[in-house]
Amino acid sequence: MLLPVKHIFSFFLLALVPRVLADPKPSAEALRFSALAASSPDGVIKLDSKTFDAITTGYREWSVVVQLTALGSDFKCAPCKQFDPNFRAVSKAWKKVPAKDRDTHFFATLDFQDGRDIFQRLGLNSAPFVNFYPAKLGPRAPASGKTDPWSYDFNSNAFDALTLAEQLSPSTPVPIPYKEPPNYALIASAGATFLFILITARFFWMFFSSVFLSRWTWGFVTIATSIVMCSGFMFVRIRNMPLAVTTKTGASWVANGFQTQYGGETYAMSLLYGALAFSFVSLTLLVPKIPTAGRQRAGVYLWTTALMVLYSLLITLFRLKNPGYPFGLIF
């Protein structure tokens, strides 16, 4: 059965209604502000009193964040000059958003010189301020129905762009795709420091590599470390023990027993251990290189005697710490 032409036309109109309702066309005002934002290098719309009233009108289909500032040289507003580049950086990041979302939210700025009456109307006597105005009409209107403007809290939040973007993103159509730019000053400083370290290391290696690679150097470091650690240095340092104590019989630098130790003992043990190590090294490494037999024999007697005397002193020191120890060597 063929339907009349007027019925077919009616069905066609009914089919178009949901599509029109689902995809409403932006108003002339929204298109005007979209054009202003697109013509701005950073997407910030410069306002005056008239355009401020227009962009924050109660019939707006868009949301807008407005920076109220005082950048004129007469005002000397340091926070304004500090915050303005960060505000523009966030707005510039918003320009990367697809047009269907970008054109339903705007960034704008109103300077005190261009809108004194607006500052008076809002009761502002300082700057900067950032106010967010949610959409009141259309699909961008909040589902909760709360369309009152709110202010960015500079007391709780920082002046940096990243914090601003994070605070605004829950209220924008999509999150603001802001990323902090690389800190080129820090990169350059780190690179210069690394280069300086390389050059310095290269210089020292050229002139001191023979010292670093010498077995005598590492032998000395090893022996010195062993002497310091075996002398009780760490015990005295950690426990903050005194160098000596005063008793009824006078000053005493040797503590009785094996559970404690004074600083004087550490010095004495270090000297004895160092002298014993030097005597042993001399006897085993230096004496065999003496060219004549007589001098070599004298060296053997000398350093053997030194070992005996030094070890006797070590045992004597041990008897001072533990009087009950019955043995000795020479004295």
Strand-pairing partners, residue 129, are 68
Report the pLDDT value the prediction gives residue 25, as an integer from 0 to 100.
67
Q: pTM for this structure? A: 0.55
> Cα–Cα–Cα angle for 210, 211, 215, nearest 5°?
95
Report the pLDDT value the prediction gives residue 19, as an integer from 0 to 100.
41
> Cα–Cα–Cα angle for 129, 130, 136, nearest 5°?
135
Cα distance between residue 64 and residue 55, in whole Å: 7
Q: Is the dihedral of CA 207, 213, 215, 217 positive or negative?
A: positive
Return the closest-CA partner of residue 155 out of 79, 41, 50.
79
Q: Does domain 25-171 have CATH number 3.40.30.10?
A: yes
Looking at the chain, list the stretches that DSSP marks H as alpha helix, in order from N- to C-terminal side.
5-22, 28-39, 49-55, 78-94, 99-102, 116-122, 161-168, 184-212, 215-230, 233-239, 263-281, 293-321
Q: Any idea where the domains of the chain sit in the sequence?
A: 25-171, 214-321
Cα distance between residue 138 and residue 128, in whole Å: 30
Average pLDDT per block of 10 residues along the chain, 331 residues long: 48 44 66 93 94 90 94 89 95 94 94 93 92 90 85 90 94 93 89 93 86 88 89 89 85 83 90 92 92 93 94 90 83 77
Return the closest-CA partner of residue 168 out of 248, 86, 111.
86
Report the pLDDT value the prediction gives residue 191, as an integer from 0 to 100.
93
- Strand-strand pairing, 44-47 and 105-111: parallel
